Amino acid sequence: MMNLKVFGVARDIMGGGEIALTDSIHSVGELKALLLNRYPKLKELNSLVIAVNQKYASDEVSVAETDEIAVIPPVSGG
């Protein structure tokens, strides 16, 4: 099982700040495709980025259940 931390508007769209996926996922690219398919409103965001172990990660980065994985919508700090 893969646990996702979900923030900001993505949390509202996905219905929670902690989401557990039972799907078999091996890369950031696969995860993003799955999320965009399951939560189509995510497509309306300017961007959707995945952080793996607290680093922004590109699609080819591999992910495992032991990684800390976060769903990062457009940031707006400051």
The contact set with another protein (CB under 8 A) reads 5, 7-9, 12, 45-47, 49, 51-52, 54-58, 60-62, 70, 72-78
Nearer to another protein, 26 or 55 (CB): 55
Give dist(CA 41, CA 19) in Å, integer.
Answer: 16
CA–CA–CA angle 77, 51, 37 (5° rounding): 100
Terminal Cα-to-Cα distance of the chain (whole angstroms): 34
Nearer to another protein, 7 or 23 (CB): 7
Nearer to another protein, 3 or 58 (CB): 58
